[in-house]
């Protein structure tokens, strides 16, 4: 379960629309709570590091960007609880590439951007056996 505010949803959708037709990505900063629940306290938008040609269908966060996000989080007493990225003209479902590059425990939000407009926003968590993603519930925070 991931708790997200309406404002955070809007920000992720807006980032995806802004970077269309390329993928956008960013970090979800917040807290891990009991029973696998994560609370997102703030977003940390970052740029997509991949080559121009690959930007449409894969996302990759450079290690130094991740470190910058982790330091920013730590300074505020937060942790990285997940990642978000957009799928331009593709459904809000993680790809095989996403699965290969994911870790268990974290939340993976995918927002579908169709013809420049954000549609579906869904959150996923990798199964502990790493074979697939399971959709996770998004709770509405304040």
Residues 79-98 within binding reach of Zn ion (CB under 5 A) = 95, 98
With binding defined as CB under 5 A, does residue 11 bind Zn ion? no
Cα dihedral 69, 39, 75, 86 in deg (nearest 10) = 20
* Nearer CB in complex with Zn ion: 5/95: 95
Q: What is the 3-state secondary structure (H, E, C) of 114-139?
A: ECCEEEEEEEEEECCCCCCEEEECEE
SS3 state of residue 92: coil
| Residues 129, 71: Cα–Cα separation, whole Å | 29
In Å, the largest CA–CA distance within the chain is 41
Clarify whether 135 is annotated catalytic.
no
Least distance (Å) between residue 65 CB and Zn ion: 17
Least distance (Å) between residue 142 CB and Zn ion: 29
- Residue closest to Zn ion (Cβ): 98
Catalytic residue among 17, 23, 65, 100: 23
Least distance (Å) between residue 132 CB and Zn ion: 14
Binding interface with Zn ion (CB under 5 A): 95, 98
């Amino acid at each position: 379960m991931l708790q997200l505010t309406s404002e955070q949803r809007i920000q992720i959708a807006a980032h995806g629309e802004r970077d269309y037709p390329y993928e956008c990505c960013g970090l979800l900063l917040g807290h891990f709570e009991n029973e696998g629940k994560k609370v997102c306290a703030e977003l940390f938008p970052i740029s997509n590091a991949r080559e121009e040609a690959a930007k449409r269908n894969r996302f990759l966060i450079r290690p130094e960007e991740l470190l910058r996000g982790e330091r920013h989080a730590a300074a505020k007493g937060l942790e990285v609880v997940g990642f978000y990225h957009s799928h331009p003209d593709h459904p809000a479902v993680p790809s095989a590439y996403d699965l290969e590059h994911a870790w268990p425990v974290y939340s993976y939000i995918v927002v579908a951007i169709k013809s420049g407009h954000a549609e579906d926003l869904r959150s996923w968590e990798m199964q502990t056996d790493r074979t697939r993603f399971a959709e996770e519930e998004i709770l509405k925070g304040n």
